[in-house]
Amino acid sequence: MEFIAPLDALFLLAESREHPMHVGSLQLFEPPEDAGPDYLREFKEKLIADKAFHPTFRKQPATWLGAPQLAWTTDSDIDLDFHVQRSALPAPGGFGQLLDHASVLHSALLDRHRPLWELHFVEGLADGRFALYSKMHHALIDGVAAQRLMRRTLTSDPSSGEARVPWNLPRRARSERVGNGGALGLAKNLFSSAPRSTTALLRAARTGLVEQQLTLPFAAPRTVFNVPIGGARRCAVRSWPMDRIKQVRKATGATVNDVVLTMSAGALRSYLIERDALPDKPLIAMVPMSVREADDTDTQGVRVAALLCNLGTDVADPLERLRVVSESTRRNKEVYRSLSSTQSMALSALMLSPMATMLLPGFASMAAPPFNIVISNVPGSRDPLYWNGARLDAGYPLSIPLDGQAVNITLTSNGENLDFGLVGCRRTLPDLARLLDHLEDSLAALEEAAI
């Protein structure tokens, strides 16, 4: 029996029917040209023939001295037919049906009497493609690591018929690249590694909060997104060509992240205007972001920060909104770059500390939101990828809304596209897909104004 790390245990203890604590992904694949009618059945059989498991995929919560969720036990007899499932959409097999199915899967709690992960192959799409929905509990893995784990099953070789299984991937050296992690994973890493040094924390607070007026938690206005949520989820996904974002970046001198944030800000503004619910104050987004310089080759130390970004939703002009977002991210990055790695971790942990309160029942209805939304950009592959000869067309990350945070926006790069995954409380945001239309309108407005 293995004790669960305190911060991992928090995700188990905070989980309820209203607050599922797993991260997921929805991947779309184009089968190889020579795929027959039994391709997916044979693919699944090939996968489940591999009975070797990394220890993470054997863990399930155990009760220790009468206390639940404080230790891991190991499952020695894993039922792969349960963990790897195959289903089919009813005719006509539209994309909306797939999203409805993924939303139901993403709403369901993982079975704590088994290891906390599932894979679901879905066939029956009218265009001949198939999908893979996967999920793992956040106590086992964070969203960025889960996304990378699924990507490691893939290859850039289209002729490869290899079917790597995520539960038994070969070990590899630690990646030297520091990406923009998901908010909950970033919070867990920072809280576990942030120094106990009062001096470091005071220095970081003085520099960041006083001298340079860093954006603070609890400065955000309350919106329709910042309410207690239920357990049913709705997922909405769409891809945009990376070239469109890069053209705006080139024309304005902004970064890709700034353009994506402004695109999201415009969508949130339009969504709230439709409901006559746009606050006078700008919305604040929590954005995990790398603060390394472009020429920084030092792989030591944590250089990922928790930035609170002014989204400029009170500004009607898209270019002025982009300027507000760019200025906010630039100023916040400058604060972190002026600190040591130790001080950066301390400050990020301080900025993310309100996330712990979101896991407390009833907190969302009593206190002002520390920020309005989490927007995460997870680095992905720039090359086409394949699995068992099938080409990956899209890989949409599906994250975790929290109490008081009814919607989450996570995106990742995939070849020449940016794949957006939106997850929201079904009761609070029954029309979540409208945000996708607003994202397109927001990007189009930026293009028209800038190019």
Q: 3-class DSSP state for residue 353?
A: coil
Per residue, what are the HEC states of 387-429? ECCEEEEEEEEECCCECCECEEEEEEEECCEEEEEEEEECCCC
Tokens coding 305? 């920060």
> Rounded CA gap, 181 and 355, in Å?
15
Cβ-based burial of 348 (10 A; exposed 0-12, middle 13-18, buried ≥19): buried
Phi, psi of 416 (to 5 degrees): -100, 10
Q: From the candidates 22, 137, 138, 438, give the one annotated as an active-site residue.
A: 138
C-alpha to C-alpha distance for 231 and 243, rounded to whole angstroms: 37
Element (H, E) at 191: helix 183-193
245: part of which helix (H) or strand (E)?
Answer: helix 242-252
CB-based burial, 76-93: b 16+ in 10 Å, e otherwise: eebebeebbebeebeeeb
Beta carbons of 57 and 117 less than 8 angstroms apart? yes
Q: How far apart are CA 322 and CA 266, in angstroms?
A: 10
User: Is residue 138 annotated as part of the catalytic site, yes or no?
Assistant: yes
Determine contact, residues 43/163, Cβ cutoff 8 Å: yes
Q: Identify residue 1 by its one-letter amino acid code.
A: M
Q: Is 82:60 a contact under the CB 8 Å cutoff?
A: no
Q: Helix H segments across 91-142?
A: 95-107
Closest by Cα among 63, 52, 83 to 9: 63
CA–CA distance, 331 with 220 (Å, rounded to integer): 18
DSSP state of 19: B
Contact criterion met (CB below 8 Å) for 390 and 29: yes
Q: What letter does residue 110 receive in the DSSP assignment?
A: P
Strand partners, 119: 84, 134
Q: What CA–CA distance (Å, rounded) separates 93 from 238? A: 17
**Tokens 């709230």, residue located:** 272
| Residue in the block written with tokens 């944590």 | 302
Active site residues: 138
